[in-house]
Amino acid sequence: MVMPKPAARSYHHGNLRQALLEAALELAQQRGPEGVSVREAARRLGVSPAAPFRHFPNRRALMTAMAEEASERLRIEVRKSLTREKGNALERLSSVGRGYLQWARRHPSHFRIISARDQIDIAGSAALVRNVEEVRDLTVQALRAAQAQGLIAAELDAAALALLARATVYGLARMQLDDHFGQWGIAPAAVPAAMNATLALLVTLMAATAKLDRA
């Protein structure tokens, strides 16, 4: 069965840059990051092929701008999750992870885009670097606070623990996106709970290391 082509959207002298980002996101949702192109985004908006290049000189620039939006949404989601958490440092650590997983579930295309590191210019984007570093720093801060409170062994490297935490939530988000949970006997409706339970288990195992300091 041949799927109909999406209808071109009419563009009327608005914010062309934002309209291009929205059209590109639609392409990413339908085709994946590899299916994004500046010319196709322009075609969908009904503007000349040359018009977008004033804003995005090449595909990499467009993908980087999309990654900036993705990282900003991630930063906001993590901050919102932390705002709701009033518990100790371990609970704040869990909250950072839950915010990440919530973002990945709500914005799978943004997750794919920001994961396509070979297609975006991270070093050339101050906004992207700032957002990524803020989420990482919030993780490290929660871990160091937990160590200061005696909730995690003080001799463990907080940066390494933060990397472990990121690898866990990233892996869980990737497994959901690639539909791996069924292989583990987890029904689609149970996936969010399973992801949060796995994150909780990681934090519990980190907390168990506090016994090292008291041994």
**Sequential DSSP letters for 67-106:** HHHHHHHHHHHHHHHHHH--S-HHHHHHHHHHHHHHHHHH
Answering whether pTM is above 0.85, one says: yes
Structure tokens belonging to residue 144:
């160091």
Q: What is the pLDDT of residue 52?
A: 87
Confidence of residue 215 (pLDDT cuts 50, 70, 90): low
Handedness of CA 68, 72, 75, 77 (dihedral sign): negative
Domains of the chain with CATH codes: 1-57 (1.10.10), 59-214 (1.10.357.10)
CB atoms within 10 A of CB 144: 17
CB atoms within 10 A of CB 44: 21
Structure tokens belonging to residue 120:
């975006």
pLDDT > 90 in the chain, percent = 84
Q: What is the pLDDT of residue 213?
A: 59
Confidence of residue 87 (pLDDT cuts 50, 70, 90): confident
Comparison of pLDDT for 199 and 8, the residue scoring more:
199
